[in-house]
Structure 1
């Protein structure tokens, strides 16, 4: 798989892997042409409650709300982790954090050295290459801190434009950015002064250009990984007009590593609405190109919000849920999720099917008509998308997290959720009866707690860089 990708970088004449090279018959070619296109749009630190279709009242997200009216909303879709690195690794590899190569953000390793996605990991892009898809990642990759085997062009992507590493992705006026395996200069950008071209413009324009360049005889997979609304909080002044006259209190933001604009509430809302508008440009382009009916578009977020103050909520970014980014409570891992696919997904649908990031790889494979080439944790949610009764359910979902108050483990089985602050306390919740996770009922349900504890022990394999031991930083 990796060798194939390396060869592709050297010679653009190699279009399909060996097992497909003899498929000359017109019937096969027709079948390949009819394969659906897939666009996966990922927000960065957007909360469950930050979108209109999940109840947001202050921030306007008309495009995403329209997607919900024309598609399906998952009310119990979970991120791969509560921070971006391991969440994105889970999305790409179909593995939860008990089995994944990347289980934490770069500096939260035992050695202090970052762990990247490896050459042995098989990504969704590599899988789709087997089905002759043209593949692109635009935006934040964040899985190649070492700039070695983790870079996107060695992980199945034909085209990459964006950030390999986390730190550079913190800023919206980058002076340099990666285009495939080369770092290019963004002329006129001054990161510290927030001058030049806004990165959101760069990503959206690249995405539209990628779509314009697709041929009619090859399906495509576009992973559009926006950095909005991750700190830093900044946006061009012209984008703030719809919120500047709101009678909102000032939440004053300070300058430092993050070159924040002063008015936090107005800036945050404007950033989310700007992203919504850009999703609309992508949808418009699909219609212009005549491929709208044959394209599945998914929108979600990588983990819970960081901006809203849970002690004094303004936007209610986590909805009714407890917690935020870096928590394994629902507010940290339950994500907004909407999918649109005309004539395949029933308009205005909603499901409480329990799914997670590691389900995307098998779903993409299912859509492409292939079987995942390695053992994974995910299950295809294609049956739920198309309202089929063939949907398989998870026995459980599992997370582990080393940062902050960690290590923390969490496991969900049906409506039951067990959280373990390693070496300290267990918390048990029934999410159907108590979605806010307000009442710890562990001591009243020891038998259920013990069953979930036993399952939690089986859910992971050891990782030398991510041991479940307290680490102070």
Structure 2
């Protein structure tokens, strides 16, 4: 038997160690390349198209959201599911537009006056991610279970989400110092909170903490986080530290009603700006968390809003929250449904890009299926926008988009096809060329009768009957 001198033994040991190290590194890299991407979907509440810097805002500072746009892609024509939150969120979750969705209006705006909730047969994007092996969570505003008694079938735990922390109903989500949240299926009581006196814990801050904890806990496995912030929905209130940067500016004052249902702060402009900036700050904290955990490159982050703004409803808007568009919350004009939409995914999405691809909330279901590569995707009205995110040429386009809305001025219906938009309301028909008339100020219904008939045919064939939503004017 040949005996090696000590230096040769050392070389052999070194060779084996280095070989194992290279093998382990390759295995680690292989696992990382095969790992499914994390997805964080951040949804603001009543944030207008023009409320962030990346979409033209001049007064409110949103550096972290703007950075998402610089490091990702900005959609110029992305639409909410509805001009109010309930049906808009249902569209996002189920992939159905309001002509097919189970939830087509907010809780009290039904024929019976009773809320329509998601049921056992309703499949959500949570189910899709769960079936693909993801850990899933909804943190913030659920608003899909508004019955007085807890209907487990309508709760996130029955809709594909492993974890829920936040508001179960719409009304509770109107108050930032509300005393009752839900943790999974059980009430989570904040004993020190008093919404009338604005005392206790600011619920938005709790949602941020919960999101950071969820990401930290699931850093080693693929996760889907639906982070549904309640900012900047009324009521308008925010801790003083978020208002201070704006209080030193020479802004005009807007006195708010502090005694009604919404316990607003006395001055509106600094409160609204402070709320948006606080959300922006916390999105920055979340992005820093991803980087510190080493999972930033493998995480797709999406930011958008559920419908148009409500606060800037003034004869002379202060923030110009709807940007170049007409309308706001509860309108089917562009200001009510066209949303800021930003997606960031390092090394996948080309930085500082934008797209005019026409997309909508109900596309997220198909996109989730595309990302997770599930064997069977639930039927939906959506088309995956993953090719647009990845700058691929195979992006399929919608024939048309459809909305219906029954509240207050309703019923209103609308379709968008390419650059054309048709609105049907109690006054008749309106036709706009969005490529030339973003503000929808020039009704071309008489100038383009043939096109109007074509779009009206699509509008009238876009819906299925629903016993609670029958396109008749409702009063709450």
Give matches, 1:231-270, under 5 Å: 231-255=234-258, 256-270=260-274
Residue 462 (structure 1) aligns with: 465
Moved more, 158-167 or 369-378: 369-378
- Which residue is 1:342 aligned to? 346
Larger displacement relative to structure 2 (451-460 or 362-371):
362-371
Aligned twin of 2:119: 118
- Superposed, 1:197-276 pairs within 5 Å as 197-216=201-220, 218-255=221-258, 256-276=260-280
Residue 319 (1) aligns with residue 323 (2): yes
Superposition deviation, residue 130 in structure 1: 1.1
Which has the greater radius of gyration?
2
**1:157 matches 2:161:** yes
Q: Which residue of 1 aligns with 2:55?
A: 54
Partner secondary structure for residue 154 of structure 2? coil
CA distance in 1 between counterparts of 2:118 and 2:287 reads: 31
Distance 1:250 1:353, change over 3 A: same
**Residue number in structure 2 paired with 1:373:** 377
State the 1:375 CA deviation: 1.5
* Partner Cα separation in structure 2 for residue 221 and residue 443 of structure 1: 48
CA distance in 2, matches of 1:371, 1:378: 17
Deviations 1:365-419 (A, max 9, x none): 1111125533210000000001000100000000000101001000000000000
- Distance in 2, Cα, partners of 1:145 & 1:32: 42
Aligned partners of 1:310 and 1:323 also within 8 Å: no
Q: Which runs of structure 2 are paired with 1:346-357 in the superposition (5 Å)?
A: 346-357=350-361
Residue aligned with 2:140, SS: strand
TM-score (ref. length: structure 2): 0.92
Shift of 1:187: 3.0
Runs of 4+ in 1 over 3 A off after TM superposition: 29-33
Distance in 2 (alpha carbons) for counterparts of 1:274 and 1:247: 20
> What is residue 294 of structure 2 aligned with on the other side?
290
Unpaired runs of 5+ residues, structure 1, are: 1-25
State how far apart, in whole Å, the 1-side matches of 2:267 and 2:195 are. 19
In structure 2, distance between residues paired with 1:94 and 1:341: 22
CA distance in structure 2 between the partners assigned to 1:50 and 1:220 by the alignment? 29
Secondary structure, aligned partner of 1:297: strand
Q: Cα–Cα, structure 1 residues 84 and 197, in superposed 2: closer, same or farther, change >3 Å?
A: same
Kept in 1: contact 2:366–2:377 (CA 8 A): no
2:424 matched residue in structure 1: 420
**Among 162, 169, 172, the residue aligned to 1:168:** 172
Preserved contact between residue 80 and residue 88 of structure 1 (Cα < 8 Å): yes
Distance 1:233 1:72 in 2: 30
Count of residue pairs brought into register by the alignment: 445
1:332 alignment partner in structure 2: 336
Q: CA deviation at 1:471?
A: 2.0
**Per the alignment, do residues 444 and 228 of structure 1 end up closer, same or farther by CA in structure 2, a change over 3 Å counting?**
same
C-alpha distance in 2 between matches for 1:425 and 1:345? 43
- Deviation string for 1:174-200 (max 9, x for gaps)? 111100010011131111100011011
Match of 1:88 in 2: 89
Provide the residue aligned with 1:22 in structure 2: none
Q: Provide closer, same or farther for how the CA distance between residues 310 and 413 of structure 1 changes in structure 2, counting only shifts above 3 A.
A: farther
5+ residue gaps, structure 2 = 1-26
Answer yes or no: is the 8 Å Cα contact 1:33–1:219 preserved in 2: no
In structure 2, distance between residues paired with 1:231 and 1:429: 31
Distance (Å, rounded) in 1 between the aligned partners of 2:425 and 2:433 = 18
Aligned to 2:145: 144
CA distance in 1, matches of 2:442, 2:244: 42
3-state DSSP class of the match of 1:169? helix
The Cα shift of 1:444 comes to 1.1
1:20 equivalent in structure 2: none
